[in-house]
Structure 1
Amino acid sequence: MTTVSNMNYELSEEMQSLVYWSSIYSPADQHIDSIRAAYDAMCLHYTLPRDGTVDVEDKIVPHDMHPVNVRLYSPLGQAPAQGWSCVVYIHGGGWMVGNLDSHEFITRYLCRDLNVAVLSVDYRLAPEHHFPAAYEDCEVVYEWLKQHGADWNINTDQIVLVGDSAGGNLAAALAIQLQHTANQACGLALIYPSLSGCFENESCQQHAQAPLLSVEDMHYYLKAYAPNTQDWQDLRLSPMLAQDLSDMPPSFIAVAEYDPLSDDGRIFAERLQQANISTEFYLGKGLLHGSLRLVRDCPVVQDLYQHMLSSIKQMLK
C-alpha cells in the first residue's frame, strides 16, 4: 500500500507538511494492526485536546446482531424544544481504519460551529467485516436515530449526512437507499468521496500516483472491503451507478484537485444537478486526499470548510 509519492506536484507548504507527517506515521509493516496504529497516531497528531466547548458522550445504538458504538457531540446549553438539529458524521479510512477518535479533529468543530448535535458512527471495519457490514451499521444508526432521536434531544426531522472519503461513500449510498421513503435526510455533504469501483476516469489516470492516495491504494481498500467484485455493482457500494437521483437531498460535494477520486465527486455533483437537486460543488485547488485534517492550518481547507458550513446551514433551515 502506497503512502506517499514524489510526483511533480507543486504542493503548498501545508500539503508538503501533510505528506511529511503521513510518512512519519507510516506503518511498520502491512499487518492491519500496524496500519491502524499508524493511522491512529497520525490522526492524534492533528487533534487538539478537548476544550469543554461542547458536550461529548459515547453511546451505543442497540441492534439484535450488531450494536453500533457512536459518539454524540452536543452544544452546551438548553436544547431547542424540538431537539438539536443533527449531523451524522461517517468517517473515512478506506473502510479499514478510523474510529470514534480519528475524526474528532472535525466532528467537535462541526458541533460548535453549526450549533447542532453531531453523531459519529463507529462502523465495523474490513478486512474482518466485509461489505455490506459498514453500510449496514450506518443504516442501523440512521434508522434508529429517526425513530428514537428524541431520546437524545435530537430533532429527527433535521438530520444531515456527512462523510469523507470512504465515509462519503457510505453517506451517499445511504441517501440513495433512502430515496422515495419518508426518511430521507434533509441534506448530504461529501468530502472527496469514493463513489464507484471504476478507476478509469480522467482523474484516476492523471493522479494515479498522487501523494497520500494512489489508484493502487484504492484497489487495495476496495478489495479488502468487498473481495467479491460482483458487489462492486451494488448501489450500497457504488452509489454512482444509481440511475434515479430524483429524491436525493440538497447536497454539498467537495473534492481535492490532486486526488484520483476527484472525478467521482465532480461527476456525481453534475448528475445531482441534472436531476434538479440543489447541489454545491467545491474544487479544493492544490489539495490532496485527506487534507481535511488541515482545517485549522491551510487557508484552502478552511475555505472549503466554511463553504460546507454555509451549505449545511441552508439544509437545516
Structure 2
Amino acid sequence: MTQINTAYVLSEEMQRLVYWNSVYSAADMDLDSCRAAYDAMCMHYTLPRDDRIDIQDHVIEHKNQKIGVRLYQPKAVQAPVTGWPCVLYFHGGGFVVGGLDSHEFLLSYLCQDLNIAVLCVDYRLAPEHHFPAAHDDCEFAYTWLKAHADQWNIDADNIIIAGDSAGGNLAAAVTVALQHTGQQAKGLVMVYPMLSTRFDLPAYRLHANAPLLTRADCEYYLREYAPDDSQWNDLRLAPLLADDFSDMPETFIAVAEFDPVADDGKCFAEKLAQAGITQQLYVAQGMLHGGLRLMRDCPEVQQLYQHMLNAIQQMIHKI
C-alpha cells in the first residue's frame, strides 16, 4: 500500500482509497491517459447495473451544441401526480475529467434511496473547451429541464441542483446566476466544492499537500479551464465572490476535513446564513477530497451520504 502522509490520521477505508487512486493514476500527463485512468478508477467503485431503476441516455441541444445527459428513474414505485422530483447533477473531475459514467456509483443510489429522478449532465471539458463552456452547458441543462420537464415526467418546480468538487462549483454558479429570475432551483447540494479562485483561505495552506487533492492540483485544474486569469473574478467561475445571496435556494454543503477546498464550502455556508438562507454545513471528519466514492464502505462517508439524503428529502417535500 502506498505511503500515507503521517500528518493525516486516516481510516483503513480512506487509506485504501488513496491506494487505489495511485493504482489507477496515469503513467504520464497525456490528457487521454489521465482520462482513461480516471475512468478506470471510477469503474472500480461502480457496481454492475441491476434492473431496479431505469437508466436512459439522451441528448439536448443548445446553439448547435449537443449535450449528453443520463436520466435515472425509479421502477418500483409510481411517480407522484406532479411528476418525479429531480436532482440535476454536475459531476466532479476538475473540469477536465469525468462524464456520464464517472458518478453512476452515486447517482444510481440517489435514485433508488430517494425514489426520485436524477439527471447527470455531460458538460464540455477543458482544455478543449475553456470557461465558460462548462457553466453554459450546465445552466442550459437546467433551463431546458425546467421548460421540458413533462417530457420525462419530472416536476419542474421540484428540481435540486447538485454537484461535487468542480461540479459543486458549477452548481453554485448556476444558482447564483438564477437569483431574481423567478426560476430558482428548489435546492442546492454540494460536496467538497471549489468555489473561489484566490486560494487565500486557511485550508489551502493547511492542507496544501493533502492526499488525493493538493493546492497545486487546484491551481492546475483552474488554469486548464480558465487560462485567462482576468476572468477569475467572474461569478460564473468564483461564485463565492458574490455579494448578493438573497435569492439562493435552501442549501446543503458537505466538506471533507482533510481538503484544501474545505473552507470554500464553509465560507459559502456563512454567506448564505448571513443572507437568511436556510443552509446546512456538514464536515466529514477524517475524509479526503474524492471520498464520496466510499459511500458504501466507509462509516464517515456513509454518515455524509445519509445527511445528504435527509437534506434532499426535506427540500423536495417543502411547499
TM-score between both structures, scaled by the size of structure 2: 0.97
- Counting only pairs closer than 5 Å after superposition, residues 1-317 of structure 1 correspond to structure 2 as 6-76=5-75, 77-317=77-317
**Aligned partner of residue 62 in structure 2, secondary structure:** coil
- 8 Å CA contact 1:210–1:258 kept in 2: the answer is yes
CA distance in 1, matches of 2:105, 2:6: 28
Alignment check: 8 A CA contact 1:54 1:73 kept: yes
SS of match in other structure, 2:98: coil
Instruction: Tell me by how many angstroms 1:4 deviates.
Output: 8.8
For 1:271 and 1:200, the matched residues in 2 are separated by 17
Aligned length in residues = 315
Which runs of 5 or more residues in structure 2 are unaligned?
none
Amino acid at match of 2:138: C
* Whole-Å separation in 2 of the counterparts to 1:270 and 1:52: 42
Cα offsets for 1:257-294 (capped at 9, x unmatched): 00000000011111101111000100000000000000
**Structure 2: how far apart are the matches of 1:301 and 1:208?**
22
Separation of aligned partners in 2, 1:80 and 1:311: 20
* Cα distance in 2 for residues equivalent to 1:94 and 1:7: 26
Query: Which SS does the other structure have where 2:211 is aligned?
Result: coil
Give aligned-pair identity as a percent.
60
Indicate conservation of the 8 Å contact 1:7/1:211, yes or no.
no
CA distance in 2, matches of 1:242, 1:304: 27
Q: Which runs of 5 or more residues in structure 1 are unaligned?
A: none
Alpha-carbon distance in 1 for matches of 2:237, 2:164: 15
Q: CA RMSD in A?
A: 1.1
CA offset digits 1:280-316 (Å, max 9, x no partner): 1000000000000000000111100100111111111
Relative to the length of structure 1, the TM-score reads 0.98
Cα distance between partner residues in 1 of 2:258 and 2:181: 37
Displacement of 1:212 after TM fit?
0.3
Rounded to whole Å, the distance in 1 between the matches of 2:110 and 2:241 is 30
- Tell me the distance in 1 between the aligned counterparts of 2:201 and 2:187: 27
Report if the CA contact (8 A) 1:59-1:71 is conserved: yes
User: How far apart in 1 are the matches of 2:52 and 2:86?
Assistant: 17
